[in-house]
Amino acid sequence: MRIDIITIFPKMFEPVLNESIIKRAQVKGKVKIFIHDLRDYTLDKHKKVDDRPFGGGSGMVLCSEPIFRAVDKIRAKNQESRVKSKVVLLCPQGRKLDQKIAKKLAKQKNLVLICGHYEGIDERVREVLVDEEVSIGDYVLTGGELPAMVLVDCLVRLIPGVLGDKNSLNFESFEGNLLEYPQYTRPAIYRGQRVPDILLSGNHQKIEEWRKIEAIKRTRLKRPDLLKKRKGN
């Protein structure tokens, strides 16, 4: 999988992309991630990427020209290897990111992520270039960089071969619209709190039954809305 990220703050990504699972996935060749500084795609000698909105209003709007140029160059390069690019805009107006959306996006060969900023982007970018808009929640951030990092982290771990345990993805929160069951590790007793006996029994069938029950109980307590989706399926 290849991920291209268009941003005006490329240095923000260095600490995230060079640590933990994302770094290991790149080293193993499971994903290639490229950061594109939007200012490199402007023809303005001052590398200006924003301007005042027509009709007046507060703030600045990202110009269409450098974004079009960046996407065109990325797509042209990928067409050489016959890879179709899907363009995703990170913005508050997008569909709220969930595991279902993440699984769909993780199947793409190439994703081009556009990080919005300021008061937004020129609407022509959304109308012509963007295939999908994604938000990470109903709140406003200063830009799309942090949402892009969240999306990348979410996607990379879904790529086959990235996680060490092939079963890890099958027992996580939001799989099957359930939150994950309680987890424990050594010591078995700590400050008077004991690990449930069933987990120490060695009876794997009983353990799986217990985990499913606990996942349902936890979901009912913390996210009852997920159970409604589960019934709807």
Q: Are residues 152 and 211 in the same domain?
A: no
CB-based contacts of 208, cutoff 8 Å, min separation 6? none
On whether residue 163 sits in a domain, the answer given is: no
Domains in the chain, number: 2
Picking from 92, 121, 156, the residue at the C-terminal end of a domain is 156
Report the CATH number that the domain containing residue 12 is assigned in CATH.
3.40.1280.10
Start-to-end Cα distance in the chain: 30
Picking from 121, 156, 191, the residue at the C-terminal end of a domain is 156
Q: Are residues 97 and 207 in the same domain?
A: no
Q: What is the extent of the structural domain holding 189?
A: 172-232
Q: Are residues 11 and 73 in the same domain?
A: yes
Q: Are residues 22 and 69 in the same domain?
A: yes
Q: Are residues 117 and 12 in the same domain?
A: yes
Q: Are residues 10 and 64 in the same domain?
A: yes
Residues in the chain: 233
On whether residue 161 sits in a domain, the answer given is: no
**Is the bond preceding residue 224 a cis peptide, omega within 30 degrees?**
no
Query: What is the C-alpha separation between 88 and 163, in angstroms, rounded?
Result: 25
Per-block average pLDDT, block size 10, for the chain (233 residues)? 97 96 97 98 93 91 96 87 88 94 96 91 96 95 96 96 70 77 96 97 97 95 89 65
Report the CATH number that the domain containing residue 200 is assigned in CATH.
1.10.1270.20
Q: Would you state the pLDDT for residue 119?
A: 81
φ, ψ (nearest 5 deg) of residue 14? -55, -50
Q: Would you state the pLDDT for residue 229?
A: 79
Q: Are residues 109 and 83 in the same domain?
A: yes
DSSP code per residue over the chain = -EEEEEES-GGGGHHHHTSHHHHHHHHTTS-EEEEEEGGGG--STT---EEPPTT--SS-EE-HHHHHHHHHHHHHHHHHTT--EEEEEEEEEEEEP-HHHHHHHHT-SEEEEEE-BTT-B-HHHHHHT-SEEEESSSS--SBSHHHHHHHHHHHHTTSTTSSSSTTGGGGSTTBTTBPPPP---S-SEETTEE--GGGGS--HHHHHHHHHHHHHHHHHHH-HHHHHHHHH-
Crossing angle of helices 145-156 and 20-27, in 10° steps, is: 60
Q: Would you state the pLDDT for residue 170?
A: 57
Q: Judge contact between 2 and 109, C-beta under 8 A.
A: yes
Q: Judge contact between 132 and 100, C-beta under 8 A.
A: no
Q: Would you state the pLDDT for residue 174?
A: 74
Pairing relation of β-strands 61-62 and 50-51?
A: antiparallel
Q: Would you state the pLDDT for residue 168?
A: 60
CA nearest to 108, candidates 76, 81, 85, 138 = 85
